Every structure is written in C-alpha cells, then in structure tokens.
A and B are shown apart, each in its own frame.
Chain A
Amino acid sequence: MPRYGMVIDTRKCVGCQDCVIACKTENNIPEGYNRDWIITESNGKFPDIQMEIRTERCNHCSETPCVSCCPTGASHIHDVGGVVLVTHEKCIGCKACVEACPYDARFIHPDGYADKCTFCIHRVEKGQKPACVEVCPTYCMHFGDLDDPNSEVSKLLQSRKWHVNLPDAGTQPNIFYLV
C-alpha cells in the first residue's frame, strides 16, 4: 500500500510560483483562488540574512482533522496512497474542514464545495506526477511512495536534513522540506 508524499528541496526552490500556476491550469482553479502558495521566511539583520523559500499546499496528513470533522463523509482518505480528497457531490459546504486545517490549506470553491490540493491523483493514477512537481524548473519537488524505502522520496529523507510544517500540531504531514 503506497503512502504518497512529497519531498521539496528548499535549497533549490526560488519561489517562482510555476507550481502554483501549473496547478491552476491543470485543475482549472478559478481566478482568486490557489491550491498552493509560496512562503518566504527570512531572518537576520542586513546583510547577514538567512532565507528559506517553500512551496506549500495541503500536506495530505496521516492524522487528518479535516476528514474526521466532515459530517457527510465528503472529505475522505482515498483508498490508494493515503491521499486526502473531497467528493464534491457529498460536500454541503459547511466549512468545518476549512476551519479544521491548521495550515489553512483548504478553501471553498465558487461552485460551493471544499477544495484543495489533490496530489493530482487523476495524473498519479495514470503513472504521471502531480502537475506542480512536473513543471518545477528548479527540479526541487519530488513525489513518491514514502512507504517504499527505495523510492526517491524515501532516499532523500534518509540522506538529508528536513523539517515539516507545524510538527506539533499533531497532523503528521506528508510533505517534507529538505534544508
């Protein structure tokens, strides 16, 4: 049983938003909304500055507050890969899941249902990678099976220092940032 996740190399990320745009066109996201985004964190007094640039999206957590709070079962865990998805026709737009995410990764689509990154499951099931991973011009994004010790993502996590977002929130996110 694969457990999908991403490993993102912040040393290479330049924060160009190519991933945000590729997601937008691949998934027809309406104007004004984005499933992913760029965070820059910089620290220090000029000129001694450290800066980390991250591309972020739904972390497809292993402990999902957004799935347990859903009253209709619309927000659910896909049977393959542990990907967190929303079944549009079951969603009533109550926004509990939007509130429940500590990363604020969800939003309400203008058509009424809760929306967020889907790890491009429609592509992954055809053997492709998510649109954001495939477009990144710095090749900083990696996608794969975290449960396979020989996968690219697993090997990267074994060999490099990394962190996740909000590790203490208890969500067990599956996107890892190499530093």
Chain B
Amino acid sequence: MHELWELLRDAVPMITHGNPHLMSIVWFTVQVAAIATGLATVIGLPIGLAIALGHFRGRRTLQILANASLGLPPVLVGLFLFFVFAGQGPLGSLRLPVTRRAVFVAQTVLALPYVVAFTAAAIQGLPPGLLAQARALGAGRVQLAALALREARIGVLAGIIAALGTALSEVGAVVIVGGNVYGYDQTLASAALYEANAAHYADTVAIGLVLAGLILVLMGGVSLLQQQGGGIRMRFRSAA
C-alpha cells in the first residue's frame, strides 16, 4: 500500500504538469480510437444491415464469423496482420508494419466485429412487423436502412461503445504490428506495457490513470448519448 502511494505521488505530477511525452501519447491514442471506431462504424454498419435485412448466400456464415471474431485474441489478429503486411506477404508492398498506419489498421480490424455483430443483432431484434410494414408501404433500401438503424439505435450504439473500448485499450495487435516504438506509435495501453516491462512503474501508473480517465470520458459520453431516449439522431433521410 505504501509503495502504491509513493508511485501515485510520482505519477500525478507527470499528469498535472502536462508531461510532453505523455501528452503526445494521449493525442495519438485519441486519434487511433476516433479513426478506428469511425472506420469500423462506416464499414460495419452496412455489413450489419446487410446481415440483418439482406437475403444472400453466406449471410449466416458472415454473422457467425462476426460473432466469433468478438472472441478472437488480439495477439492472433496482430500476427495475422503482420504476416499479411510483412515484406513477403500479400499486401507487403504497402510497407505497413512498424508504422502509425499499422496501428490504425490493427485497431480498426479489432473494432469492426463489434459494430457488425451488435448492429445485426439489434436490427434482428426489432419487431418484425415494423420493417415488413415499411416494405409493404413501398420503403426503398435507404429508407429501410435508416428506419432499422434509428429503431435499433440503442443496440447499435452499444456496438460502437464496445468498438471504442477495444480501440482504446487493446494492446496485443498494436504491439505486434506497430512494434510499440517509444515516442512514435505507442498508444496509452501499449506505452503502459512498455513502461511496465522497463520497470518504470511510476510512468506506468501515470499512463494507466490517464487511460482510465480517457475511457471514462469517451465511453461515458457515448453511453450518455445512448441513454438519452433519442440517442444519436441517425438521420440519413428524415421524413418529418
């Protein structure tokens, strides 16, 4: 207990004095979380909608894959991406490993299944008559998608919250694909791992506190939006 107190005493000034190294990690982490969650949402919503509303071969397989991906260890995802983007890999020409872009890609891949699986499940849970009635009155694909997303918004937002949490705190893939290079492509989570391995425990605690605060602020904010009856207004084409 005494040791923890001493660590906190050393860690807190790093935060309050705005340690430049720490602040650069915070900024990069926010960028990674925002871009990875944004990309996962942009890619994942149409896939989730297609699974829930579409009639095509392989629809069930796609949903099983999305659901199974929720349990995939990030280290495995990192290894997979590393071999895909490595010099001899199929996408080796992109020269992605040990770059910041690699971190964005890794976190997007990890966040994507959450958006897909939650969106599909939330829409499949809607009263069946609602979408059938919209079809019966002539709703087109875009109108159906807008209706489905709006009605299932609580579940869809839960998926986005889970994706954001993954993008903020998962470390396994980032370390393998990005290399966890000090001062270059570290996120708060991977930096905490780095400092812990180096036995810099005060730095680890400082980073950990900031990460916890960031998670609380970002995810709390999205959760508040979710809980406000209307949630985020997903108006692709407003009728009223």
Q: Do A and B come from the same complex?
A: no
